[in-house]
Amino acid sequence: MANEFARNITDATYSTTFTLPASASASTQQSSGFDLGADTYKPENLEMELSVPALSSTIVPDTRTVTYIIESSTTSNFAAISQTIYTGTFTGASSAGVGAQVIRVRIPSNCARYVRSKVTFGASTTDGSALSATSRLLF
């Protein structure tokens, strides 16, 4: 659920674009991580948004999947994931692929210092590297 108190203010420092996976199957691409700072608790009006364009049936054929993830870590290299804030799997259907998605989640008050978005293509999907996803923080 979107935060009813969010003002939807963006800061270019907290917005990044990344290409979608290029491998033929079981491939992952992720955004660079955002540093939320070393404070113990995060403010209530902080949200993360992942925007992914529509994926054609060539990229995600019927019954094949793509997964969108928003996760946090205590380290900037994401060596260990401390919390998965959002995960959603979408399946290609009716020869239409997967529709465009805009996913917004509230950052938990106990969220780890670093957050990022990730897109994972399942088996038997094809090259999506011509497309880009956008990840940003909203204040």
pLDDT in the model for residue 42: 74
**Do residues 14 and 120 make contact, with C-beta atoms less than 8 angstroms apart?**
no
User: Residue 6's pLDDT band (boundaries 50, 70, 90)?
Assistant: low
- In whole numbers, what is the pLDDT of the chain averaged over residues? 90
Instruction: Please check whether residue 50 is in contact with residue 103, taking contact to mean a CB–CB distance below 8 angstroms.
Output: yes
H or E stretch covering 30 = strand 27-30
Residue-wise pLDDT tens digits, 15-52: 999 999 987 655 889 999 999 988 767 777 889 999 99
The percentage of the chain sitting over the pLDDT mark of 70, rounded to a whole number, equals 92
Give residue-wise pLDDT tens across range 77-90.
999 999 999 999 99
Token pair 């608790």 is found at 41
For the chain, domain boundaries: 22-124
Asked whether the beta carbons of 122 and 23 are under 8 A apart, the reply is no
Q: Please, which pLDDT band fits residue 120 given cuts at 50, 70 and 90? A: very high
Confidence (pLDDT) at 3 = 54
How far apart, in Å, do the first and last CA atoms of the chain sit?
15
pLDDT at position 22, please? 87
Distance CA 110, CA 125 (A): 36
pLDDT attached to residue 24: 62
Alpha carbon distance 41, 4 (integer Å) = 19
